[in-house]
Structure 1
Amino acid sequence: MNNDRFDVFLCHNSQDKSAVRYIAKRLREKGLRPWFDEWEVSPGSLWQRSLEEQIEKIHSVAVCIGPSGMGPWQQMEVDAYLRKFVERRCPIIPVVLSGAIKGKKPQLPVFLEAFAWVDFNQKEPHPLERLIRGITEEKTQGPAIEPASGVMGIDPGKTFRSPEEAGDSKSIYQTVIIGNNNNISTSGRDMNR
């Protein structure tokens, strides 16, 4: 039994194995270690037992839904193991494989609908990079916000009590707050009123 940790369990219907194998290879190329049954279960072994032995060492799960939908074994995996991932607060990532229901939200099992999903039918945002971010729990940075032409740059969260403190003589002053997710909110008043 291997004592190393795995980054992600690739839960899939065996009929979609070639698409999942492709994803597993790309993840490995990016330095991640997927638990993929072909690589982790010896011939003649019970895959369920192998997975049970490793489940505590797996950081996240990608539930792959392909053109074949959820398979019976896959449904059993989901029912049996997802509760453990939820209890451990591990990322659970629904993955829509290429060829599965293009152009609309796939029919996901009810419990997966609440999770943000990755769609390999789309080119942008890049699905493999999005999957990697889900596995590693890495957040994306929004684009840098540049002041509009003719607008003075202000430190995020800076509050001015008067127009003079803001460094201009205009009658309106404003507080600009840029939150962690780069949302902008402003508040202000006209000092001449």
Structure 2
Amino acid sequence: MSSIFLSHTSIDKPFVEKLAKDLKRIGVEVWYDKWEIGIGESITWKIETGIRENEYLGIILSPEALQSEWVRGELSAAWVKQMRSKKVFILPVLYRECEIPLLLADKKYADFRSSYDDGFQTLAKAFGIKDTDTLSVENWRKFTNRKDVDWKKYKELEFESLVTTLVDRTIAYNWSSYVGGTANPFSIQLHASIAITHGNLGNQVTHKYISKYVTFKLKSGTNAYWAASKEMYNPNHLKAGDFDIYVGNSINACDEYLWRIMEDFKNQYKNPKEKPIHFTNKFIKSNDYREVSRELMKKLHWYKGDNLF
């Protein structure tokens, strides 16, 4: 199993921690100071041991990193190891625009400046890892034209996260939610309804209901999220043309879009007071039902073999 020591400066830690987690996900052992150095341990000794024992040193290049005495020291030690071993040890990772050190000027680097996914795939190749092994929830869109990988399961995982994020948002605002089924897959509708005083009819106060509907759909053609504002209680009755507002390619884009609408509704009418309804059931095929039933039966029995169920 390949291993790498990540040399970086503290300002780049959010990027480095994400990189470390993604590398571990594809089977690379990672030396990351936050994970390796405990309270009371010698920082210098732990770093030296990390550089000695790992197969590679990945230097995270940024303007601040090149000004860091720690990074410079780690690069110097790595260069000595590379010269002695006479094989590639230093893997440059260009995170942000900076002047490449002369020691690394002729080295190919993994370029993360414009695309994290492209940079990550380049870095993964250094460990002999195929691009298909880097497939994840974050980059499945790049594999949709490939037949040799199961990218659809990552699409479903992303949609699960979307539903969870948006339903949690609706709960905070007392809105209702309704996930579309086979007639409109990968769609979710969020709606609110509130009664306001409309006028007097004799001795009776009359009310009218103000409703707001927002429906998101992950369209197959673009693999992007689009929104519909049409008032339709059941999202399965919406047509493809109703989704005419481009939102983006991320859960955060949908969450922000929904939040702005909810805030506007709250400021104008306040949040609904009636108990909301949440329909988040999955519509699954008969084969999936059999698999779910089989797994449930196994959980309810002491027998854990494969011959009874």
Work out whether the TM-score is over 0.5. yes
Residue 57 of structure 1: aligned partner:
53
Structure 2 runs not aligned, ≥5 long: 132-309
Determine if contact 2:58/2:93 at 8 Å carries over to the other structure. Answer: yes
The alpha carbon displacement at 1:85 in A equals 2.9
Determine if contact 1:61/1:85 at 8 Å carries over to the other structure. Answer: no
Structure 1 runs not aligned, ≥5 long: 141-193
Residue 112 of structure 2: aligned partner:
120
| Secondary structure in 1 matching 2:71 | helix
Query: Against the structure 1 CA distance between its residues 124 and 31, is the aligned structure 2 distance closer, same or farther, given a 3 Å change threshold?
Result: closer
The alpha carbon displacement at 1:118 in A equals 1.0
Residue 77 of structure 1: aligned partner:
74
Choose from 12, 31, 35 the match for 2:31.
Answer: 35
| Secondary structure in 1 matching 2:99 | coil
Distance in 2 of aligned mates of 1:107 and 1:120: 15
The alpha carbon displacement at 1:122 in A equals 2.8
Distance in 2 of aligned mates of 1:10 and 1:124: 16
Distance in 1 of aligned mates of 2:51 and 2:2: 9
Choose from 89, 92, 95 the match for 2:93.
Answer: 95
Determine if contact 1:11/1:63 at 8 Å carries over to the other structure. Answer: yes
Distance in 2 of aligned mates of 1:139 and 1:23: 17
The alpha carbon displacement at 1:62 in A equals 0.9
Distance in 1 of aligned mates of 2:27 and 2:84: 26
The alpha carbon displacement at 1:95 in A equals 0.7
Residue 133 of structure 1: aligned partner:
125
Determine if contact 1:10/1:36 at 8 Å carries over to the other structure. Answer: yes
Distance in 2 of aligned mates of 1:80 and 1:92: 10
Query: Against the structure 1 CA distance between its residues 42 and 63, is the aligned structure 2 distance closer, same or farther, given a 3 Å change threshold?
Result: same
Amino acid in the other structure paired with 2:27: G
Query: Against the structure 1 CA distance between its residues 125 and 28, is the aligned structure 2 distance closer, same or farther, given a 3 Å change threshold?
Result: closer
- Structure 1 or 2: larger strand share? 2
Could you list the runs of 4 or more consecutive aligned residues of structure 1 that deviate by over 3 angstroms after TM superposition?
137-140
TM-score by length of 1: 0.59
| Secondary structure in 2 matching 1:116 | coil
TM-score by length of 2: 0.38
Distance in 1 of aligned mates of 2:26 and 2:80: 28
Distance in 2 of aligned mates of 1:28 and 1:47: 23
Query: Against the structure 1 CA distance between its residues 110 and 45, is the aligned structure 2 distance closer, same or farther, given a 3 Å change threshold?
Result: same
Compare relative contact order (CA 8 Å, sep 6+) and give the higher one, 1 or 2: 1
- Structure 1 or 2: larger helix share? 2
Residue 20 of structure 2 is aligned to residue 15 of structure 1? no
**1:28-56 superposed Cα distances (whole Å, 9 cap, x missing partner):** 11111111111111122122201222433
Larger Rg: 2
Q: Number of residues paired by the alignment?
A: 129
The alpha carbon displacement at 1:86 in A equals 3.2
Distance in 2 of aligned mates of 1:125 and 1:28: 15
